[in-house]
Structures are given as C-alpha cells and as structure tokens.
A and B are shown apart, each in its own frame.
Chain A
Amino acid sequence: MEIRGLVKIAGDAVARFWPLRTFIHHNPLVSLESIPFHEAVRLACRRAGARGYLPCKVYRGYLAVGRIQCSHLDNALAAVARDADVWVGEGRVSHLEVLRAVLVDGFGCPEGDDVVVDDADIDALCSRLGVVGEVSQTDRNMAEVLEDQAALARDITLSQWCDQALGTRIVQQVNDELIKWCAAFLDEGHAVWAMPGRQRGFYRAWRALSAYEWSPCGILDSRRKIASLPDQPEDCLRDSLSGMGVPYPRWADYLAAELAVLPGWAGFIRWRAEQVEYPWQKAFPMSLVEYLAVRLWYERELVSQACRTHLGIEATFEGLSTYMHCRSYEYVSGKARAAGRRCSDEIDRVTLTRRETAHRLVRLARALNIEPAILRQAEPGSLAKLVQWLDGFAEPHHGPIWLEAFEASYQDELVGTLARTVGPGVPAGSMDLVRPQSQSIYCIDVRMEPFRRHLETLGNHETFAFAGFFGAPIRLRPWGTHRETEQCPAVTKPRNEVREIPRSYHDHVVATHRSRAGILYTVRALVHDLRENVATPFVMVESLGWFYGMLLVGKTLWPGAFARLISWCREFWVPRVATSLTVDKLSAADIDEMIMAEQRAVVWKTLRAHRDTVSSHITPSIVEAVRQQAIQGDTALNGELVAHGRKLGLTREVLAGIVDELRQRRGLDERSVSHQQESLSRTGFTLDEQATTVETLLRMIGVSSNVARLVLICAHASTSTNNPYEAALDCGACGGNAGMPNARLVAMMANNPQVRDRVRARGIVIPSDTHFVAGQLDTTTDRVELFDLEDVPATHRRDVARLKEDLHEAGRLTSQERYGRLPDGRARARLSLVADRVQTRSTDWSQVLPEWGLSGNAAFIVGPRRLTRGLNLSGRVFMHSYDWRLDPGGRWLEVILTGPQLVCEWIALEHYFSTVDNEVYGSGSKAYHNVVGRLGVMSGPWSDLRVGLPRQTVISGTTAFHEPMRLLTVVVSPRERLDELIARHELLRHYYCNEWVHLAVVDEGRFYRFRSVNGWTPISSTLSSHRVGAAEERERVEWNA
C-alpha cells in the first residue's frame, strides 16, 4: 500500500486535538468505537499505559458511602460469576461470594493492602498449598523473550526497546527534538521570530534548519546525513522503515506505536492536516507523514548508534530479534537492570509467590468470616480451586464490574425519580391549556437544567431545550475584528456566513470607536514591540514596569472591583456599538452595489491620502474612472483618466502608481472582487432557509400551537479570566464559542413576518402578537443578558420587563444552588452574598475553577419537559425537548440521536476519561500549564501537548467531583422506532451495542433498557408500572385536548 495510506490508518489511532481557542470535548477513544467499550479501554491501556477505570479504592469508597449499592454490585458480578462453589470446612463458598469479597475487601489491589496477617497462618497454609507450578529461570526467560519478540514493532518501537533493554533514553531524546521542532513550526503567532522557511512544509523546513545544528542528540556526522535525505517525506519515511528492517505487514502498527508516543502533538497535526481551509495549514502545511519522517529519522540514527556501541549489532528488527533469542539471558538481565530491578534468584521468587497466595487466602477467609484454623484444614483441592478463582479475577477485571455497578446505581436512581414524577400528585401539564407567560428555549447543556427549574418555579414560564446553535450553523464575522468563528457543532460545516454590522443610528459612535480602538491597538503594539526586542526591553521595563504593579495589586486583592474599574474605563474610552446581524440573503445586484460602494470608498481614501491631491477636487467621476482602471487590470491608462488626473494635478506616472497600489495592496482586482462576491453571496439565509430553520426549531421541541407572547431564545457563554480552558465552558454546540449570535439570528428570523407566513403554511402557527427575543445566559455568573431590545414592540415592553426580573431571580437561585456545590462554597448561603461571590469568581485571575462547567454530566433525556418538570436533577443531565407524536417519521429523533447525542457522548466520555486517568487523557493540573504557540498547553517548559480536561475541572482535591460514567440516553418514544434507527445507523449501533452509551426508553409509560445481548428489557426496579402507565394515559388525554 501507498505509504500515505498506511500513515492514515496509523493516524486513526490518535484522537484529534482542536486548538484551545475552541475547546471541543471529544471521546479520546473515538477511533475505537467500533469495538465494545471494555475491550477498547483494554486496548488503549496496552497502547498508552492508561488507566481505564477509577482506582478500585475509589469505587470501594463509593460503596462505603452508598453511591454504589450491593445489589448492583451483585448484578454486575452475575455476568462473570460461575455457578460453582467449594466446601471449606463445614461451609460452602460460592464463586460469586469470592468475587464479591475480592472487590469489597480489595485485597487484589496494590493500594489497599496493609492489613497485618499472622505469619503462623501463612506458614501453615504455604505448606498445604504444595507445589505451585514452578518454572525454571530459562523457561521464564524464554517466555519473556517470546512475548517481547511478538510486541516488538507492534506495540513497542525500536527506540522503546533500546530504552528497556539497554537503559538508554532515546525516546526522551527524540521527543525533545520533536517537541522543539513541532512547537516552532506549529506556532500560531507567539514567537516574535518565527521559524524561517515554514511555507515549504514541515519536513523541508526541518531539513533546511537542522542541517545547521550542531550534532542533534549527539548524532555523528549529522550535517552530511541530513543533507543527503530524500526530497520527499514519504521517501524518507520509507527509507527509515526499511532501514530498520520493520517487516512490511507491521508498518501500520509500527507507525501507530510511534504516534502514540506524543499523542498530543500528533493529534493536533492530524486535526490540522484535515482542515484544508485552516489558514495556518494553508500557509504552512504539515501532515503526519512529515512528522513521522522526521521522527523516524532521529530514531533510526540513535537506535543504530546505541546498538552499535552497546551490543555491536545492526539495529534492525531482525538483528534485535536474533539478539533476544540467542542471548536471552543477557537480554533479560539487562532489561531488569535498566528497570532498576535486581535479578532475583529463583527460589526466592517461588517462595514469594507462594507466600503471597497464602496471604491472599487468609484475607479472603477473613472477608468471608471463616476462621483461619478452618481454612488451614480445608482440602487441598478446595484451596486450589479458591486460588484459581482468585488468580482468574485479577485486578484488571475489577474496573468493568465496578463501573457497571456504579452506573446502575445512578441509573436506577434517575429512572426511579423520573417514574415518580409522572405518577399522581404532580400537576403534569395542567398549564398547557393556559397560554404561558413566556416560553424560552435553552441549550441542551447540563447547566441549563437548574436555571430552567428555578425559572419555572417563578411563574408560568415554559422552557424547552435544543442544541445551542438553534439549528443555524453559521460562520460569524464579528464587527471590529478580523477573526471568524464557526458557530456550530464541530462535526458540521457551516454553509452560511453572517456578519455583525453596526446599527446605522450608531454611526457617529462607530467612528469614535474605530479611532479609539486604533489608538488602543497602537499602544498595545508599542508595548509589545518594545518588550519583544533585543535592545529595548530593559529601559521599557524600568520605565513602565511600575505600572504593572498596579495591575498586580488590583487583580490580586480586589479582583471584582478592579475588573469593574477596567471595564468601566474601557467602555468610557471605547464606547460600545449597537449591532445587528445580516440575516437576509443579498441579491446579486445588491452584492455588486455593495462591492462598488466599498471600492469607491477605498479609491477616495487612497486619492485623498496622496500628498499631491486636494481633497475638494476629487469628484465622483474621477473616483469611478480610477476604480474602473484598477478593476480592468494592467492595460494602459485610458485617456479619460489621464485627463481627470491632470485636473487633479496628477501626472500619468503618479496615477499609474496609485492604480498599482490599489491593485497590489488594496485588493482592487478581478480576483479579489470575485472572492468578495462569493463571500457575500454566502452571507445570510434565503427566506426558505429561514423558514426551515424556524420550523425545525419549533417542531423538534414539540411546539406547534399555543405559542406564548414572548419567546426567549437563550444561548449561553461563560466568563473567566486567566483560564486557557475558557472555551471549554462555552457552548459546545456552538463549537466552543458564545452562542449569542445564533440566538439573535434565529430570533430575528422568527420575528420576520414573511418567515412566519411560510412557517404557517407548513402547519405551525406563530400568533402575530408573539415576539422572539434573544438572550444569553452567563453560566459563571448566572446572569441573562437580552439582546436587540430596540426591536421589541411597544406592546411587549411590560412582558420583557417582567421576564427580565424573573430571569434575574432565577439566576440568583441558580447561583445559590451551584455555589453550594463548589469546593469552597457553602450550601444555603445568602442570596446577595452568593451573587457577589460568583461575580468575583469570574473575574479572579487566581481562580482555577470559575465554575464546574459540564462536570457531573451523566444522562441525556430526550422527551417532553413533562417528564422532568419539577425534578431536581442536580445539573447532571443534558435535555433535549422532543415529542414523538409530532414526529411521525422519526426524522427528528434521528437528527437528535446522531447530532446532539454525539456531542453529549463526546462530552461525557471526555469527562470520563479525564477523570479516570487525568495524566494520560486529561491535561493534568492547571498549576503547571504553559500555553504554547497560542494553541494549546504543555505542562512545564517541555512536554507533549496536553489533551483533555485539566485536573481541577473534574477532580476536587483528592476526590473525583465528576463521577465518571458512560452516558445514559433516555428517549420518550416507541421502541420500534429506535429499533429502526439502530438498524439504519452504524453510529447508533456502535453506541448501544458496544455500550459506549446506555439507552433507555419510555414507551407506553414503561421504562425499558436496551441491552446489546438480549434487546429490550423492562426496568422493574422500584417502579410500579401500572402507576406510570396511568399517568402516561392521562397525559395523552390532556395532550389530545
């Protein structure tokens, strides 16, 4: 196969890494979703050495406090327990009991083993245990060699082999080099002096520069070797692989093992290589092939150098295999020495094993309340059986069991709660007949749940949930900046572009804003330039360093007040401008007109800026003539223009110069015009698109009639300072951005009478007295800001004011609830105090935990709000409004399960893995973070790019705040419909059959669990099914009414 193809296969093993500017929660094992969860975890454990479950100690802690119940543990164990038992003395011990004892008592795990056991017991047992299969040293060596031979070039690379066998540090050396070069190449504007020659691609840039290096990693004669490298990275990679003699069938595995060494950088390169439109990738291309070519070159050189000096053999796969085989004793003892182990002699090890076994047996007996004396007298056969059971249930088997039990405990609790609410006593849906005071649509985010709950208690407010981009995937160009953001889930690509433009009544402010912002920019650039220079930072620091002292004091001692002061000053200096969004599509004529107007402005500005002209002499006809000339291209200047120019006092040469400048630097040529045209034609939505967006939104959340007077579309965002992970707190459905533009856009669409007409034609009636208003909830401070209030009709002012009040109050109540959950917060703190604390928290630069964010998420409920209304779900569930009765074809459900559910699964598993092994899947403590290249973080001065969530986001001190479990999706819908979808979608099959996501369904008022083996099984734990059924029945009656 083509080497690129092999690299692509190998690259699937590393998870993509998005730059931190838009943190995307994703499943780190997404490439393994085609195999069952537990197997995937095992595989990843083998590859990356990561832990796949919490330490057993933690689970035991959960058991002790009742988070896990014994019955669930037994259920989970039932899957692995055999129906067998042994007699010990007079008592009978079943397999299940033994396994449970092992889990509950934890004597299989390394960390909990400090119980003192009487030596006499152990001695006695040892003698009874008899001869455990003793293996000679040679055989053991041979077994080890065989195992290592199998692993070489499949799981471990040659450099790792050298490190293991010879005690070298080749991996470290190669990593250091690669980190240095990757950071230099992938830098996105941090370094003042960027790496030269990057536009030629990573491999060539590296080759050009490293040729100047003085013997990298001590490679001899490196300059000549680098100079003679092939021109194409593919050739270099192939040369290295064949030079190391890796057998062709193992190439893909070998490359995957190489990529797994620095998964962060590799993941980022993989992501970047796939983004063909990404400006940095366009300018400075890099791919995994180039990365691997460079990596393997270093490795090959270092390995061959090491093998030659240490062993005197050629560093090829064959050579190493032969060495292991022929000189096995030397190999094994060398390996032990490199690992810092003494080569212990044979007898010791046998005795040790036997004593350890005896120790475990004694512990088992104690756990099962069997006297040691009885154990000592038990038959050797029974003892052997027990030992066999214990050996067969080693520590790696514990994690899955614990996890299943843990999940079952939470799921039972949740399902039980849900079942109770649909029972009698709760006025489910009684308000449906009355027109609600307001309706509001929130994101599916778990943090919306407490807010919605509190809002609903404050009045007749109805709330819904929909993915936070509200069905309008857009590329946004905010006003006043050069950046563009993609406001949609990471898996989709936006087709429409939307610009933020100032409202025309604010034009005078715009001018002030522009010039003031320009001055601010200049000052900042000035300080930056002086700071980052060889000769100037010294005096600059001496003269300006003192001002930083004010910042230091203010930000540390009075963060809240200082932030207010700063923002006040900024507002004062650069006034805020009211803006609007370009919703509607432009016609071709409009586009041309706009471009022309823009060009005329540019030409006029350029002419005026020219020193020889007098601005009052510039007439529209001259401007037009110059514009035409510039657009038409570099033909000779036409006579009319020259005549005009003469009037202005410009010679032919000067005019030519101006035209040239316009073309070269101001973008007035055919290409940029057509580019502009294209970009403008992508701007906005057609009426049809708008109607579809609004219809989809309303239909999916199950609103077809009874629309309130005021509908709030509420996006969310967050506020934190000094936090590299701030995007992780923003809206995941908007690709890690604030969702406000999407909310504003959809509200604008829905307020358009033409759109409403079309929507009505499709069967959804929006009354003419309904107004949509956009808002944004700040999840750190729980404040809602409403936008575009200038568009609110006079009739609705009252409603808005009331809504605002309720939103404010709901925010305060939410803060109070959330504050109690924070590690340094207090439950039931005073409302006013909490608001202040929460506000300060969001502006405090020393705060590593501005909010818990999405931590704690555990379930995804797809169904009407009736199911969850009035329930305290502690901010742990994602919710998506959905009514299957309004979705006859199951089309919306399909969208929900393949779109939002995917986002939820990614979020849940990102949290899961970051919690269970924060060092591998997470990014470690924030205290050591070091932002590199403006795109990611390293820990300390040199490290791999850290992926995943920081420790502080999921772990509180030494306990896990986020309880790591897989997502449970609860759908209110008939089962057949889900069967159909599962059969149709591979993604869903992977999720449910491979148990990456648990699925439960509420069908006809009963709860069912989907199991990969035996399909739908009714959940019958604590619910009385008839009661639920009755409630559902009544609900249906109400619905039909």
Chain B
Amino acid sequence: MDVSLILFMPLLPLAATLVVLRRSLAGQRRCAWIAFGAFVLAFVIATAALGLVTMHGTWTVRLYEPGTVASWVLPLGVHVDRLGGVMLVLIAGLGTLIFRYSLSFMYLDPGYGRFLALLGLTTSTLLGLIVSSNLLMLFACWQLLSCLLPLLAHNLGHVPTRRSAVTTFWWLRAGDAVFLLGIAIAYALYGTLEFDVLFARAAEDPGVIRIWPGVDVAGPTAVTGLLLIGAMTKSAQFPLHVWLLRSLYAPTPVSALLHAGIVNGAGYLINRLAPLYGQSPLTLHAAFVIGALTAVFGAGAMLVQTDVKKTLAFSTIGQMGYMLMECGLGAFSLALFHLIAHGLFKATLFLNCGNVIHEARLDPATPVVGRDDDVGRMSRLTLVAGVAGTLLLPAIILLVAHGAFRFPLLASQGEAMFLFFIWVTSSQAILTLSRLRVVASWNVAVMMLAAMVAVMATYLVGAARFSEFLYPDREVCESFFAAAAIGRPLFDAVVILAAAAIVLGWMVMYVRSGAEELRSWPWIRRLGSQLYVLLLNEVYVERMWAGRGRRVHWAGREVGGEAAGDRSARRRVIRAGRHVAFGMLLGGWAVVGLVPFGIFTGLIGILLTGTDAVLRSAVLAVVAWGALSGLLCEYALRVIGHRVRVQL
C-alpha cells in the first residue's frame, strides 16, 4: 500500500461533508450513506496507519519547504508516530460511530444536511490536528475547532442556545489567543515550528525569557505554560470550564463527540509536545495542581446534579482534571490511556442518555427519608472485618501486582500516586459490596472480589503495556516522572493528607451505618448543607465570570432586533449574512486565522529580542486579533440564528 494515502485520510470526512451538502432531504439521506462510507474508509486507513508506524516507526511528509513562505501560507504536513496513530484510530472510530448515529438521530431535523456537514468538517479538523507536522498547522486546526463548536450548537434560532454558542466561542478564542502567544514565543526562541527540529533545538539550548526586569523564565516553561493555558480552555479545566456546560444546548451527538474527542485536547497536546513538557517541571506542577482541583471540583459537583447531561458534563470535567493531573505527575502515556477509555465511556453514556426514563420505569426509586435502609446495622465483627478488608485487600492486590507483574511499585512518585488511586477505588468497591448485602453467600462475594482483582490486574498490565508501546524508550518515560517529581517531604505530606482524608471518609461511612448520632451533630449537618449549596451553585464560578463577562460582552443585544418591524431590512441582513456565514465556515479560517498570524509572528520574529515592551505589544496584538475574528464569527452566528428561526 502506498503510504502517502495517509495524507488524504483527514480529508475523507471533509469530502463526506461536501457530499452531504445537498438540497433535498431524500438526496441528503442517500448522500449521507456515501459519506458514511468515507468515514469508514478513513477509519480503515487510520488503523492501517497505526499498524504501519508500529512496524516502521515515525513517518513524516511535508508539502512545503520549512522556512519558506509556503510554510506560513500552507503549512500542510503529515507526521504520524505511535501517538498519532493511536489518536487517529480513536478519532476516526468515534467520528464514524457518531456520524452513523446522527444519520438517524438527526434525520427529521430541518438542518439535517448542515449538521452532518459540520460533523464531517469537525472530524476532519480533529484528524488534521492529529497528523499535523508543525505547530502552525496544529494551531490552525485547533482554532478552527473553536470556530466550529459554536456552529455545532445547531439550534441557533433558539436564543439561549445562541447566547451559549457565543459564550463558547469567546472562551475558546481567549484560550486560542494565549495558545498563539505560546507558539509565537516558541518561534521567537527556536526559530522553527517543526516538531522534531523544535524539540532538538529546545534540548540543545532551552533559552530564557525575561518577562519583567529581574524575572526570568526558562524558554520551555514559558512556551508550555502558555500552551497549557490554551489547552485548559479546550479541556475544560477548573475556572475555565464554563463553556462546556453551555455547550450542552447542542444536540446529543455533538456532546458525545465533544466530550469524547475534543476535550481531550490537553492530553494529546502534552503528549505531542512531551519533550518540551519534560523540560519544564514548573508547568507540570501547575498542571498537577490545576488537574487535582478540577478533578475534585468536577466529581463533587457531579454528585448534586439532577439531570443526565449536566451530570455527564461534570463527570467529564472531573475526568479531564484527572487526566491533566496524570500529566502533571509525568505519566503522559497514562493520560492518553485515560482519555481513550474515557472517550469510549462518555460517548456511550451520552448517546444513551435518553434511556434514563426506561430505567426509571423498570425501577422507580423510592424516597429515602432519614436513614438509608440499605445500610444495615452491622455487628462489630462485620465492621472490623469490613474495615480491615477495605484497607488490606487492596494493598494485597497491589503487592500481587508488584510481585507477579513486576509493576514498579514506589519506583517513582507518579506511579505511587496511581496505585494510591487504585487502592481507593478498590476499597470503595469492597465497601459497596458489603453495604449492599444482597450477595448472601460467601462464594459469590469471593467471586466478585476475584473478578475485581482480575479487572484491576488487567488494567495495571494494560496500562503498563500501553505505556511501553507509546514510549518504547523507558528512559524517556522516566525522565518525565523525574521532571514531575516534587520535594520528598511535600510529596509525603500530600499522600498522607489524602490518605487520611479518605480513611476518615471511610470511617465516617462505616460509623454512619451503625450509629445515628453522627448524623445529628448539628455542625456536620450544617457543613453538609453548606457544601451542598456550594456545589449546587458550581462554586459560583459561572457567576463570577458572568459578572466580568457582562462588561466585556458589549454586544448584549440581538443584531437586527427580534422585534424589528422592518421585514425587508431583516431579510437583507439575512441574505448578506448567509454569505458571511458560508465564508466563515469553509474558507474563513485561512483569512481570519492564518494571515494575521503570519503578520504577527513575523513582527514578533523581527522585533523580539528579549525586551518586554515588544512582548507586551505582541500580547495586545494577539488579543486584538482574537477579538476581531471573534466579532466576525459572532456576527455570522447570529445571522445563521435568524435564518434558522425564519426557516422554522
């Protein structure tokens, strides 16, 4: 097989897009099947590509000469390594499945063709992002995604949806601006955006950036830090997650694609730029803190949600936090492992989210007043056995893992951290089993525990093998862990604190199952209520941003005015807008994105000599650029919205 086929692979869903954009509904339906074929083909090629790079190693093709004008205007290149291969299979697979799902799910929707086309375009962009051979192409795809997500909200005639689309757009564009700045600095420091060259030069001479007289930052740290902030918006990390909730106004398949494919941005990016991140401990520590915060926040807020989609969205936020935390600990490959598993998991849950009523019909819940009847009163023996089992058995599992599979227990801090999480999870499982008490016989309980041990062991082995597959060179892997290492006392303190908190939680649960008094301590009840309110209000993040946003967001009113009486004027606006929107959709990113980018990076490249004034003006310029393209896109969105409303 000719390997250059891979080059065209990201274009297949795009071709599918063009096929579907037909006029009649019946025609669209027929063409959608052809488009689905294109998707399947893309998946097959992705699988082939993965096999190829596994056997023959990394493979790069560039359609341009690095350093020439072409590299600025059309920086198309393909760079597939094992990481890229795995991601290609994941994205092409998910894209295919979600496209197939949308084929029937969106069939009776008035914007059927447009929706499928956007889905194809988005998948193409994602694939393009994965195969990019340089930061510039990566960024082009990255920011095109930011432009596509608001359009994918689809129901733009609905005012809250449109507002949320605009919010999404602004958030992502703000992230893009920072991201762009990071790229600009990388170029200024190393003079190239080609991955391999970039890594080599960074390893040779990391460089230093002076942010302020007297404050110097190592080059890789500055670059990765800015890219991390950019990635944080796409991966919905703690204070920047607001848009993810807003995006739930989109149709269900979009949510599935978003939560399974797009929010993984940070995990992929860090793996892609692993050598750079491996050089910047500070960024990794920051990632760990942000990730841990996000994980706790997401999982906590998930508990109080009463609807399916927000529950899933907060779960995603938590999972993405965990993924970033893994990165922050240096386990880059595990983060990738996580994002794949999570992608499959979350896509399934989203696509199946209408099933809740079916479950409620089969098994309607009954209200629980006062104490949970499930929690039986336990004798002291059961209690002691339970606690001991909970604490010890997981430890045994880990020792077995260590002994039998040569899993490097305590070889590095990062791995110790994961084992810690595994321990927590298996203890919870044991707790649940004993709490339910539905399994009367011992042999069944033992069987379940055995099954659990098996699952855990498979998981450990699987994760280890995956890591070896992705980074065959063990030293590289360890260098990441080393970079992420923190001071021993600090680490010990973190572990002990977390362990204490969790053991305490377990004790409380056990005691609660036996004693009523704990529940009636007023301060605990009050604290519980306060925490509940805090989580119900999502820690007030949204409100804080909204307060800021109202001032920033000057265009609060609808363009054209919903109540405007002059019909012909509105029609004119719509007609004009149709062209703008279409332009934005297909060719817009080149105009809005790359040309200003070329100008600005050129400027920076010429002028940047370490003086802070230039840097600051660059920041301003990038923000201005973001705002400009943002306004255009926002306008286009509204116009589409009007059109949709009129159509209905």
Contact = CB atoms under 8 A, between A and B. Distances in A.
Nearest to A934: B360
B353 interface: yes
B351 A933 contact: no
B354 A552 contact: no
A197 interface: yes
Given A21-B364, A193-B532, A539 B421 contact: yes
B356 A724 contact: yes
Given A196-B528, A283-B369, A546 B341 contact: yes
A263 to B, nearest CB: 17
Contacts of A932: 306-308
By DSSP majority rule, is chain B's interface helix, strand, loop, or mixed?
Answer: helix
Given A927-B251, A930-B353, A938-B307, A545 B341 contact: yes
Interface stretch (B45-53, B107-115, B126-134, B631-639): B107-115
B378 interface: no
B307 A933 contact: yes
B357 interface: yes
A1020 interface: no
Nearest to B295: A538
Contact of B104 (A214, A284, A339, A848): A848
Contacts of A541: 319, 338, 341-342, 345
Given A341-B565, A522-B433, A846-B100, A956 B344 contact: no
Given A188-B364, A541-B338, A952-B108, A546 B306 contact: no
A191 B303 contact: yes
A340 to B, nearest CB: 3
Interface string B513-549: 0000000000001001110111111001000000000
B360 A529 contact: no
B366 A279 contact: yes
A720 to B, nearest CB: 9
Contacts of B456: 543
B567 interface: yes
Given A556-B100, A958-B110, A535 B360 contact: no
A941 B108 contact: no
Contacts of B349: 548
Interface in B348-387: 348-349, 351-370, 376-377, 379, 381
B357 A20 contact: yes
B393 to A, nearest CB: 15
B337 to A, nearest CB: 7
Interface stretch (B71-79, B242-250, B276-284): B242-250
Contacts of B588: none
B439 A518 contact: yes
B355 A721 contact: yes
A569 interface: no
Contacts of A122: none
B310 interface: yes
A546 B345 CA distance: 7
Interface string A173-194: 0000000100110011111111
B369 A193 contact: no
Of A195, A481, A543, which is in contact with the most chain B CB atoms at under 10 Å from its CB? Answer: A543
B601 interface: no
B367 A552 contact: no
Nearest to B432: A529
B180 interface: no
Contacts of B101: 556, 845-846
Interface stretch (B208-216, B406-414, B554-562, B622-630): B554-562
A532 interface: yes
Contacts of A195: 304, 532, 536
A722 B367 CA distance: 25
Interface in B23-48: 25, 29
A540 B452 CA distance: 11
Nearest to A925: B109
Interface stretch (A7-15, A205-213, A672-680, A746-754): A205-213
B357 A535 contact: no
Given A110-B567, A535-B421, A727 B357 contact: yes
B306 A933 contact: yes
A82 interface: no
Interface stretch (B222-230, B261-269, B423-431): B423-431
A190 B97 contact: no
A518 B532 contact: no
Contacts of A548: 344-345, 347-349
B252 interface: yes
B168 interface: no
A534 B362 contact: no
Contacts of B439: 518-519, 522
Contacts of B428: 529-530, 533, 535-536
Interface residues of B, number: 127
A192 B303 contact: yes
Interface string B167-207: 00000000000000000000000000000000000000000
A940 interface: yes
A145 interface: no
A329 interface: no
B491 interface: no
B322 interface: yes
B357 A209 contact: no
Nearest to A478: B362
B467 interface: no
B586 interface: no
A108 to B, nearest CB: 13
A951 interface: yes
Contacts of A938: 307
A557 interface: yes
A209 B561 contact: no
Contact of A530 (B245, B353, B432, B561): B432
B540 A846 contact: no
Contacts of A209: 529, 532-533
Interface string B64-90: 000000000000000000000000000
B318 interface: yes
Of B356, B376, B429, which is in contact with the most chain A CB atoms at under 10 Å from its CB? Answer: B356
A552 B342 CA distance: 12
Interface string B573-600: 0000000000000000000000000000
A824 B425 contact: no
Given A530-B425, A927-B251, A934 B302 contact: no
A515 B445 CA distance: 12
B286 interface: no
Nearest to B315: A537
B223 to A, nearest CB: 28
Given A341-B564, A956-B108, A525 B432 contact: yes
17 contacts: A189-B360, A194-B368, A279-B366, A340-B558, A519-B444, A541-B342, A543-B456, A548-B344, A548-B345, A548-B347, A665-B376, A724-B357, A726-B361, A927-B154, A941-B245, A955-B108, A957-B25
Give me the 8 closest cross-chain CB pairs, A-B, nearest first. Answer: A189-B365, A545-B341, A340-B561, A283-B367, A543-B459, A545-B345, A927-B251, A549-B344
